Amino acid sequence: MKIFKEQIDKFTRIFKKDFIIGLDIGTSSIKLAQFLKKEDGLYLVKADLREIKQSEDSSLREQEIVFALKDLFRGIDIKKSKVIAVINCPKTAIKIIKAPYMPRAELRDGLNLEAKNYFPFPIDDSFLDYEILGDVVEKGNRKYEIAVSVSPKPTVKKYLLLLGKAGIKPASFIPSSYALQKAVGDLSAEDKALVFVDIGKLHTELIIYRGRYLLFSRKIPVALDEFTKAMTGALVSGRGRIELTFDEAEKIKQETGIPAEAESRIIEDKISTTQVLSMLRAPLEQLVSEIERCFDYYREESAGGKIDSLVLFGGGASLGGLIKYLSEGLGIEVKLGDTFEKLRLEGNAVFQRDKVLSRLELAVGAAQSVGKGINLLPAEIKEETKRAFKRSGLEAAVVGGALVLFYIGMSIQLNNFQKKISASKLELASLEPQLKQAAIFRLLAKEPYWDDVFKELSNIITSNIYLTELSMENNLIRMRGIVNSPEPEESVANFILTLERGLFKSVKLITTKEITGKAANEFEITCWLDEKSRTSPLLKGGVKF
């Protein structure tokens, strides 16, 4: 019984996506966080990044990104991985909306109309998705509290194109603020607002949330490049006229950071630390002002909510002197975020920890968001899977009895299993002696068919689908299973589409039934073996397993 259970567990693992990969394609670097799924949760097995060379030529930049993606994914089995990518641009945003209570079937249409009032830019040419956070009661009226996210269609399609050229098929797209929230985890025990600021090369984003609820999110128009540009202005001093190039200013910024008031020295025999501080003062003061504006808005909306601290993430978080400057300017504690503080690490998962300490938070958050609600993949892709589900539902048919190959998820009585073993031994003993000849044994040894089928299923089955029975009779395969998903129809339809692209033909949905009290459905599918794939002489001869 123990051996049989081990084999069942082995087959169960074949059908699951073993890895979850969070991917953050930034302006100056690409970050990856790969997690291994275990029974007790996710374990980080790889955390890495690749810097991207800057180029005005869009085609060269695209080549650079694709090359970096392929380099990061080297050695990773993509077929056994679910990839969740972060989208970050000025018009990719998330807002908290309170919508009137209505049937969920009508909710999306309502949000498409209502969301236009919440975003400070047109969203007609954007993809939209949402997550219901819970119910609230206002003035006696029940309402939904919903996180609504939008992203421009050109941006989403650009990400799809880049990933496609690198051979990567994403399972989900999520906004950066959503990923940042997931990165810091569920702090539901906290009763105060927590502020996180992600400072990148071109984008800075601030989010405020309490526990597991996002309260506020806003893009701030001050990022690392604004600091560099501020240092390229012309200066006239006793040393003559000074004007740094962008590259010179970038190098000095990275090496020097924000000089202290009392510091006074000459850098690169060109410019003093006092002059650097003077040029940086304008973007620094603007950054402090924008953060304070966010705080004021939150206090007004929350009737005086208090903010005590701020955590910095992103490439700008480690800029020398920035933490001290913000702490003094805002009058609160400011600290550097640690992406890996609460993660379970597998072996040497993190290479050069100090270098990536606060830069992989979006990639980590993307992986941690697996199974959550928001997904900004194009609506037409989702519609395609829905149509496939409806087509399959019309082709339902009755299937005869079948020989069970393996049974997963249900208890198997030991005495029944022993009877099957005894019957198999008697059948084998009754076979003609010539079956023992070497040629026949070689034929058996080379029988590849079910190994191919198992490998095929392991590559295409998703993490929210579990097969409970797989059987075959007269080359007709029957699959029974459970789909655990908020949208089970989409998941099953997508599974059917994928089956039809591989070894299986004429895939039909026989039944689907909701499991009472659970967010899951039972389903039954039948399909025929592809004639070209049935290469085994034993199968053609009718041998049963």
Please, what is the end-to-end C-alpha distance for the chain in angstroms?
A: 19
Determine the pLDDT at residue 425.
53
Return the H-helix or E-strand segment holding 202: none
C-alpha separations of 281 from 60, 63, 204 in Å: 35, 37, 18
440 in the same domain as 293:
no
CATH number of the domain residue 302 falls in: 3.30.420.40
How far is 393 from 23, CA to CA, in rounded Å?
A: 35
And the tokens for 122?
């047109």
**Among 205, 12, 170, residue whose Cα is nearest residue 86:** 170
CB 36 within 8 A of CB 19: yes
Determine the pLDDT at residue 427.
54
Q: Which of 303, 338, 373 is the last residue of a domain?
A: 338
The vertex-202 CA angle with 196 and 206, nearest 5°, equals: 20
pLDDT digit string, tens, across residues 480-503: 999 887 778 888 888 888 888 878
393 in the same domain as 331:
no
pTM for this predicted structure: 0.64
Which residues neighbour 397 within 8 Å (Cβ) at sequence distance 6 or greater?
Answer: 508, 510, 526
408 in the same domain as 284:
no
Is residue 88 assigned to a domain?
no
Is residue 359 assigned to a domain?
no
298 in the same domain as 392:
no
Q: Residue-wise over 330-354: b if at least 16 C-beta within 10 A, else e?
A: bebebeebebbeebeeeeebbeeee
Low-confidence ranges of the chain (pLDDT < 70): 1-17, 186-191, 211-212, 237-239, 351, 372, 381-451, 517, 530-545
533 in the same domain as 396:
yes
287 in the same domain as 206:
yes
Residue listed under structure tokens 């040629």: 439
CATH number of the domain residue 472 falls in: 3.30.1360.100
387 in the same domain as 326:
no
Plot region of 43 (φ>0 → left; ψ -120 to 50 → alpha; else → beta): beta
**Among 94, 109, 120, residue whose Cα is nearest residue 375:** 94
Is residue 443 assigned to a domain?
yes
Is residue 105 assigned to a domain?
no
399 in the same domain as 324:
no
200: domain range?
Answer: 186-338
Determine the pLDDT at residue 64.
93
**Among 152, 105, 108, residue whose Cα is nearest residue 127:** 152
Return the H-helix or E-strand segment holding 323: helix 322-330
Is residue 523 assigned to a domain?
yes
CB 406 within 8 A of CB 8: yes
And the tokens for 306?
């208090």
Q: Residue-wise over 445-467: b if at least 16 C-beta within 10 A, else e?
A: eeeebeeebbebbbbbbbbbbbb
Q: Which of 338, 372, 399 is the last residue of a domain?
A: 338
393 in the same domain as 308:
no
How far is 98 from 289, CA to CA, in rounded Å?
A: 29
Type of residue found at 336 = L
Which residues neighbour 429 within 8 Å (Cβ) at sequence distance 6 or greater?
Answer: none
Which residues neighbour 324 within 8 Å (Cβ) at sequence distance 6 or greater?
Answer: 258, 334
Q: Using the 8-state DSSP alphabet, how is residue 161 labeled?
A: H
Is residue 399 assigned to a domain?
yes
Determine the pLDDT at residue 431.
47
Q: Using the 8-state DSSP alphabet, how is residue 343 labeled?
A: P
Tell me if residue 497 falls in helix, strand or coil: helix
407 in the same domain as 533:
yes
Is residue 179 assigned to a domain?
no
Determine the pLDDT at residue 518.
72
Determine the pLDDT at residue 12.
47
Number of domains in the chain: 2
Is residue 153 assigned to a domain?
no
